[in-house]
Structure 1
């Protein structure tokens, strides 16, 4: 039992380290072949938005709005991929017990 608890604690520490790494790691989402770029952390915090002036048309605000949404969705997808890469193997090593341990970020 002691060995199981030690393994669980080690995995929890690894998960916490991975989550801290994700909070600092940045991903970039883009739309319109890079005309709109959004930089977020892998945890989902938006850090910056870059909009190429070529896409700014006062008579077509809807396209710009769609590009911003597309870039945000692309950044979210990239963040999910990075989360799966960093946390997925750790969660799998818990044999499905992650939820029972109350580990944040596993779901």
Structure 2
């Protein structure tokens, strides 16, 4: 019984190291999203930090600021969703079959 427990602990430690490595790799990734046919581009790191926002001059209309704000929000939410999806795909491989509540890795 003790041998099985030691073996299981070793496997858990290996899985933990792989999880940590996967998290580090995710944090180093860069994600981009656009809206308005590429008129607004938002770039974020895997750490969920917005690193760049580019707005085409063609979309800047002082009489329609609401549209510009909507385009920025759309691109920002899209890039954050991309990060979330990639994180779930990557980290989900470690939690398959564990029946953990959503969002728990």
Report the structure number with the largest CA radius of gyration.
2
Q: Extract unaligned runs of 5+ from structure 2.
A: none
- Find the residue that maps to 1:59 and give its secondary structure: coil
User: 1:47-87 CA deviation, whole Å, 9 max, x = no partner?
Assistant: 10111110011111110000000000110121122112321
Structure 1 position 98, deviation (Å)? 6.8
**Which protein has greater RCO, CA pairs closer than 8 Å, 6+ apart?**
1
Q: What root-mean-square deviation, in Å, do the aligned CA atoms of Structure 1 and Structure 2 show?
A: 1.9
TM-score (norm 2): 0.85
Indicate the residue corresponding to 1:33 in structure 2: 37
Number of equivalences = 100
> Distance between the aligned counterparts of 2:73 and 2:89, measured in 1?
24
Indicate the residue corresponding to 1:89 in structure 2: 93
TM-score (norm 1): 0.84
- Deviant stretches of 4+, over 3 Å: none
> Distance between the aligned counterparts of 2:104 and 2:53, measured in 1?
28
- Find the residue that maps to 1:3 and give its secondary structure: helix
Indicate the residue corresponding to 2:75 in structure 1: 71
